[in-house]
Amino acid sequence: MELIRPLRFTCIAALGTLLLLSCCCTAAGTEIEEAGPSDQVSHPSWMPQARVVDDFTELAEPPEVFYPSQYMKRQKLRAEEIKGLQKSTDEEILQRYGRIPFHENVPIYGLAAPGNIVKQAIKDYGAVNIVDPNQNDGRMIILGKTAPQDPEGTEQLGQKSISELEKTIKLYKLNPDFHILRKKLVQSQAIRLPEKSIHDVPHLGATPIISDGDLGKMLRASTVGTKTFYYKESDARPILVDIRQELMHRTVNDREKGAIERVVKQHEGAQEKFGDELASVLYGQPTYLNVENGRTRKQGVKLKDYPRFDKNTKREEMVQALQEHGRFRFYVKDPQGNEVGYRIKVLNRKAPSGEPMKITVKPLNSFKKASETVYSWLGKIPHRNLV
What does the pLDDT look like over 195-222, one tens digit per residue?
Answer: 999 999 999 999 999 987 799 999 999 9
Q: How confident is the model at residue 5 (pLDDT cuts 50, 70, 90)?
A: very low
CA atoms of 4 and 1, how far apart (whole Å): 5
Residue ranges with strand state E in 238-349: 239-241, 249-251, 308-309, 327-333, 339-346
Residues 240 and 249 sit within 8 Å (Cβ to Cβ): yes
Residues 329 and 306 sit within 8 Å (Cβ to Cβ): yes
pLDDT at position 147 is 78
Q: Where are the alpha helices (DSSP H) in 40-77?
A: 71-74
Residues 147 and 224 sit within 8 Å (Cβ to Cβ): no
Alpha-carbon distance values, 86 to 81, 96, 127, 190, 258 (Å): 11, 14, 15, 22, 52
Tens digit of each residue's pLDDT (9 = 90 or more) over 89-103: 999 999 999 999 999
Neighbours of 269 (CB within 10 A): 13
For a pLDDT cut of 90, what percent of the chain falls above it? 63
pLDDT at position 55 is 42
Residues 128 and 149 sit within 8 Å (Cβ to Cβ): no
90 contacts: CB under 8 Å, gap ≥ 6: none
Tens digit of each residue's pLDDT (9 = 90 or more) over 246-272: 999 999 999 999 999 999 999 999 999
Residue ranges with strand state E in the chain: 51-52, 57-58, 102-103, 106-110, 127-132, 137-144, 156-161, 203-204, 207-210, 229-231, 239-241, 249-251, 308-309, 327-333, 339-346, 359-363
CA atoms of 247 and 176, how far apart (whole Å): 13
Mean pLDDT of the chain: 83
CA atoms of 236 and 195, how far apart (whole Å): 26
What is 78-125 written as a DSSP string? Answer: -HHHHHTSPPPPHHHHHHHHTT--EETTEEEEETTS-HHHHHHHHHHH
CA atoms of 387 and 381, how far apart (whole Å): 17
CA atoms of 95 and 243, how far apart (whole Å): 20
Residues 319 and 292 sit within 8 Å (Cβ to Cβ): no
pLDDT at position 387 is 56
Q: How confident is the model at residue 25 (pLDDT cuts 50, 70, 90)?
A: very low
Backbone CA torsion sign across 250, 251, 256, 259? positive
**Residue 341 — φ and ψ, nearest 5°?**
-100, 145
Please tell me which residue, 63 or 134, carries the higher pLDDT value: 134
pLDDT value at 285 more than 90: yes
Q: 360 - beta bridge partners? A: 345
CA atoms of 305 and 295, how far apart (whole Å): 17
Residues 211 and 199 sit within 8 Å (Cβ to Cβ): no
pTM recorded for the entire structure: 0.76
Domain boundaries of the chain, sorted by first residue: 51-173, 203-267, 287-377
Q: How confident is the model at residue 145 (pLDDT cuts 50, 70, 90)?
A: confident
**Residue 151 — φ and ψ, nearest 5°?**
-70, 160
